[in-house]
Amino acid sequence: MHLKRLEISGFKSFAQKTILDFAGGITAIVGPNGCGKSNIVDAIKWVMGEQSMKSVRGKKGEDLIFSGSKKRVRLGKARVALFMDNSSGAAPIDFPEVVISRNIFRAGENEYHINNSKVRLKDVADILTKARMAQKSFSIINQGMADAILNYSPTERQLILEEAAGVRGYQVKKEEAARKIKNTKDNLEKTASLMAEIEPHLNYLRKQASKAEKREEIVKKLGDIQKSYFGVISKNLYKEKNQINRRNKSARDEIFRKSQELIELKKNLSKEEKNMFSGDNGIFGLQQKWNDLRMKIGEMEKETAKIEAKIELILIAREPQVSPVDIDYIKTRISQSLELLKKALNSQNAGEKNKILNEGLEMLDCLHNEIKNGKIKKYLKKPEVNPGLLEEKKELEDKIAKLSSESREIQANIANRQGQELKEKAKFFEMERRIKAIEDEIGGDKDVLRDLDIEEAKVSMKLGDIEKEIADSGMNIQEIIAADIKIPELFNQDDSEREIRRLKVRLDEIGSIDQATIQEFHETDQRYQFLEKESGDLKKTISSLKNVIDELERKIRENFNDYFSVINNEFNNYFRLIFGGGRASLLRKTAVNQVDGDNDETGGNDKENDNINREGVDISAILPGKKIKDLSLFSGGERSLTSIALLFAIIASASPPFLVLDEIDAALDEDNSQKFGKILRELSRKTQFILITHNRETMKLADILYGVTMDEGVSRVLSLRLV
Ligand code: ATP
């Protein structure tokens, strides 16, 4: 791939669009001082992506845009386009021609295009690197630089050689990797110091979090125990309360029932009382009647006695044999009476007792009357008596018998009534006793009620206490009651209370832990873990970058070693050719492959940088017939020729696609200019040259010659010779 054409418009002194077509071999640009020749070189550098303003001899972007002249106003934009032949396909783009263009505006904005498509600087750099045309110090060389190659430090010289050897890319990558390692190490250090900073606080937070976890566990355990404890206790208390209420109700029911009974009893009692003390129970009337009867009987008995006396008189008058007393009769009657009295004494029943007693007494009374009236005379021989008297007597006796029987009936009635009265009294007293008993029972029931009320109050108080305890524990009694709590088989109230107390003490010991602290722990831990991971990633990055560096170094070593021996050889050849003898060589100052043996896990020390700094190339040259080795003692021409020999060696060994040489032939005398021209012609078979020159010998070599002039501050290009 070679340069075909350069279009410049608005760039520096090139106010108007200027086109330069390049020859495949040598293109020479000539012109007086200050006409703008070097501006063309700047344009080439710039379009190839130069980022250093110094390198294009400016301070700021604006300096690159035509700044105006007496006749022409300044421009707002500069544009340079470089046309390249890609028929060989060296650039990885599917076009036979590649046009790279770059614009700059006064505001400083830069634009890059490849074949009219807007691209990034990186794309431009990529395509040129692939085509081995990357704009570096080596592809554009001015006189100062050619001389400077001798004055450069070994390291700078090494850079140029690396560029020429095509390992510069690797070297750049290696430097990048080394820089990345350094940055990564910086980051690693920052990460480590952040971790160190966080760690003590994180440890504290971790402890707090683990305490909180423990606390949580205890709270859960406590909650479980409390749930069953509260459940058992409150259920039992409710059960107890219900039982008390039931007992209370049944006691009240009992009192009510007994009170009703009492009322009824009292009602009956007062009725009974009224009956008992109303006065008339018939006994008095009967007594009265009995007395009347007794009187009548008495009178009749008197009548009878009179009749009997009459009869007696009659009988006596007719000599009746009379025994004064019938002893047997009296004996029989007395023993009968005594029997009755005895019976009366033994009788338990008051009524019966009276009745029998009366019967006995009456019998005695009757016997007494019979004796007194002489009725119990024993007739030894029955006298004859007037039948009328007898009849009268018989009538009286019948009446007496009848009345006696009536009297006995009344007597029995009285006894009966008295028995009745006793029964009623007994019933009354029984009622009184019953009332008393019920009243006592009610009293007892009321005592029970009072006790139950006290018990109920106690249970309610306990329930109140437990409810408060439940509420204090953040629970709800209704939920506790509703929950189907399985009472542990080995539930023991004392043990549970002890355990609850113990857990509460433990909670107190742990103390409360702020939720924000836990939150902070999680956040800090996350951050720490993130840093830990990052640290690991950074270490991995360092390790892989080290591998990259090793690989790059291996490539650099291999490529550069090969190249170096070639260039060394060429340098000696060109030196001897130019000077007609002598000896020149390049010396590797330090071996590239000294990078190893670094076991630092963070990616090593600064060995990568050290190596870059340590590496370098020295020049050793001896002129024919002379012994001087020290280049500083060479004449200006000798130095120029030595640097040109080295330059040619580089070009010959690397065969770059193109090379811009800006007045590097200025110091050559005619003889040396001819040698220079000859070698250049030789090299131009492989490398395209664009030469800025004042040297006539060089101009003669050119395939295309451009003359640059400046008119009123504006550069113009004139083609002086075409191929
Ligand atoms: P020499 O042979 O002495 O090295 P030269 O031909 O290489 O000279 P240059 O250095 O290319 O000349 O050109 C310098 C000229 O370009 C100066 O006259 C300078 O004023 C002009 N110039 C540089 N920048 C601008 C700009 N932005 N606008 C207008 N003119 C500019």
Q: Is the CB of 62 under 6 A from ligand 1?
A: no
Nearest CA to ligand 1 atom 9: 36
What is the Cα–Cα distance from 10 to 233, expressed in whole angstroms? 101
Domain span at residue 682 reads 1-139+659-722
Within-domain flag for 229:
no
pLDDT of residue 452: 92
For the Cβ of 693 lying below 6 angstroms from any atom of ligand 1, the answer is: no
Which residues have a Cβ under 8 Å from the Cβ of 454 and sit 6 or more positions away? none
Q: What does the block give as tokens for 537?
A: 């990633």
List, run by run, the mean pLDDT of 10-residue segments along the chain (723 residues).
94 97 93 95 94 92 94 95 91 91 95 96 90 68 77 83 78 88 94 94 92 91 86 87 93 92 90 73 80 88 85 70 70 85 82 84 84 69 70 86 88 85 86 92 92 93 89 82 70 86 91 88 94 95 94 87 90 91 87 41 43 70 85 84 88 85 88 89 91 92 94 93 56
C-alpha span between 87 and 96 (Å, rounded) = 4
Pairing of strands 97-105, 378-379: unpaired
Domain end marker among 349, 376, 403: 376
Is there an atom of ligand 1 within 6 Å of 706 CB? no
Cβ of 36 closer than 6 Å to ligand 1, yes or no, is yes
Residue 211, domain member (yes or no) = no
Q: How many domains does the chain have?
A: 2
Looking up residue 70, the CATH number of its domain turns out to be: 3.40.50.300
Ligand 1: nearest atom to the Cα of 708: 6
- Residue 363 falls within a domain, yes or no? yes
pLDDT given at position 76 = 96
Q: Is residue 61 part of a domain?
A: yes
Write out 343-358 in H/E/C secondary structure: HHHHCCCHHHHHHHHH
- Is there a domain that residue 39 lies in? yes
Query: How far is the centre of ligand 1, averaged over its atoms, from the C-alpha of 715 (Å)?
Result: 8
- Residue 680 falls within a domain, yes or no? yes
How far, in Å, from the CA of 643 to the mean position of ligand 1?
27
Atom of ligand 1 nearest to the CA of 710: 18
Cβ-Cβ contacts under 8 Å for 463 (sequence gap 6 or more)? 234, 237, 238, 241
- Do residues 385 and 316 touch, judged by C-beta distance below 8 A? no
pLDDT of 564-611, one tens digit each? 899 999 999 999 988 889 999 999 876 444 443 344 444 444 444 444
Residue 86 domain flag: yes
How far away, in angstroms, is 14 Cα from ligand 1 center?
9
Q: Which atom of ligand 1 is nearest to the CA of 35?
A: 6
Tens digit of each residue's pLDDT (9 = 90 or more) over 310-345: 887 777 766 655 556 677 888 888 888 888 888 888
Whether 576 is in a domain gets the answer no
Q: Is the shortest distance between the CB of 39 and ligand 1 below 6 Å?
A: yes
Q: Which of 39, 63, 690 to mutate to test the pocket of ligand 1 (most atoms within 8 A of CB)?
A: 39
Residues 6+ apart with CB under 8 A from 543: 603
Q: Please tell me if the CB atom of residue 116 comes closer than 6 angstroms to any atom of ligand 1.
A: no
φ/ψ bin of 530: left (φ > 0), alpha (ψ from -120 to 50), beta (otherwise): alpha
